[in-house]
Amino acid sequence: MTAGLRARIKAEWERSKVSYMFVGPFLLLFTVFTVVPVVLSIVLSFTDFNTLQPPKWVGLQNYIRLFLDDDVFQIAVKNTFIFAAVTGPLSYLLCFIFAWLINELRPGVRALLTLLFYAPSISGNAYMIWHYIFSGDMYGYLNGVLLKWGIIDKPLQWLIEPEYIMPIVVMVALWMSLGTSFLVFIAGLQGLDPTLFEAAAIDGVRNRWQELWYITLPSMKSYLMFGAILTITNSFAAAGQITNLVGYPSTDYAAHTVMQHLQDYGNIRYEMGYASTIAVVLFVTMVTAQRVVQRLLGKLGQ
């Protein structure tokens, strides 16, 4: 190490000592519990690792197997893209629209409506109510009603027949989509400076739609990006609620997602090398989607 470089490092440390002290504790935890494990699993994606024997280097074999030999993965990719393409944009819009609309209500009314909209997310498994509704026997609410009205003459297997599974899963996902992003949007909207809107009214903004496009959306960019990342993660990595709703595996893999495929190999078969390969592929997909959304959000208010 040259003396000049050493002096520059020392100067930078002197200048930013306080900043490093602020970031330090978190950075340590983040490195130990996230960065190292993630790097490790990227390395593992090139190995054969059953968690008992030491990993064996196999090069690109896992990737080749995933894309060429794994028929179930093909189904999972198709399902995941359909699921993400429908629930992602729709749930994002719903979060923003509802947050935006209730923002103008009086505090008490707003708090109540926020609670009601957020209700599906508040209890970890509130969506299991749909299990009662779509239950395949005659105790299921939907079957009960349809039988009573004479629309069907025997109970339908809503959660077992492949053609119903995907629509139901998508509907439940939309129903519970007013989650974290929704709360963040509300808090963000609350933080906007009211004088901005008064000034805009003087400058010729005439209705709420102009106000939304020229003032609200551009000042919300930072929150919108946060919401976008969460929405992308939720829609591409959906698994838990699908398993609980339609079982694992779903009939004919009708709702099999990439994340479920990953958990199958990681948590059940303990093929960690292969599971890591799926994680890397999923990761690259989500990062690509995030880049696209970032570009779109950059165009707001222009």
Partner 1 sequence: MKHLLYRQRVNRSASVDFVIFVFLAGGAIFTALPLVFAISNAFKPLNELFLFPPQFFVRNPTLQNFADLFTLMRQSWVPMSRYITNSLIIVIGGMAGNLLFGSMAAYALSKHDFFGRHFINSLIVLSLMFAPAVVRIPNYLTIAWLGWIDTYWAVIVPAWASTLGLYLLKNFIDAMVDDSLLEAARIDGASEFFIYRKIVMPIVKPAWLTLIILTFQQLWGVTGSEFIYTENYKTLPYALDQIVRGGIARQGVGAAAALIMMAVPIVVFVINQSRIVETMGTSGIK
- Contact positions with partner 1 (CB under 8 A) in 229-258: 229-230, 232-233, 237
84 binds partner 1 (CB under 8 A): no
187: left (phi over 0), alpha (psi -120 to 50) or beta: alpha
The identity of residue 102, as a single letter, is I
Phi–psi pair at 270, nearest 5 degrees: 55, 35
Residue 48 · residue 63 · CB < 8 Å: no
Q: Which is nearer to partner 1, 2 or 207 (CB)?
A: 207
Confirm or reject binding of residue 85 to partner 1 (CB under 8 A): no
The answer to the question of residue 297 lying near partner 1 (CB under 8 A) is no
What is the rounded CA–CA span in Å between residue 120 and residue 230? 17
The yes or no reply on residue 296 touching partner 1 (CB under 8 A) is no
Does 275 help bind partner 1 (rule: CB under 8 A)? yes
Cβ atoms 179, 121 nearer than 8 A: yes
Would the CA dihedral through 146, 148, 154, 158 be positive or negative?
Answer: positive
CB of 253 vs partner 1, minimal distance in Å = 19
**Which C-beta is closer to partner 1: that of 141 or that of 252?**
141
Nearest approach, Cβ of residue 53 and partner 1 (Å)? 14
Residue 177's nearest CA partner among 78, 107, 88 is 88
Q: Residues near 192 by Cβ (< 8 Å), separated by ≥ 6?
A: 216, 219, 220
Identify the residue among 6, 7, 10, 12 touching partner 1 (CB under 8 A). Answer: 12
Site residues for partner 1, 204-233, by CB under 8 A, read 205-208, 210-211, 219-223, 225-226, 229-230, 232-233
Calculate the alpha carbon distances from 125 to 29, 68, 129 in Å: 29, 36, 8
CA–CA separation, 226 and 294 (whole Å): 10
| 198 is a contact residue toward partner 1 (CB under 8 A) | yes
CB 127, min distance to partner 1, A: 8
CA–centroid distance for 260 within its chain: 14
SS3 161: coil
88: contact with partner 1 by CB under 8 A: no
Q: What mask, x for binding partner 1 by CB under 8 A, covers residues 101 to 130?
A: xx-xxxx-xxx-xxxxxxxxxxxx-xx-x-
- Of 10, 33, 57, 72, the one binding partner 1 by CB under 8 A: 33
- Which C-beta is closer to partner 1: that of 26 or that of 154? 26
Choices 8-16, 81-89, 158-166, 246-254; region in contact with partner 1 by CB under 8 A = 8-16
152 lines the binding site for partner 1 (CB under 8 A):
no
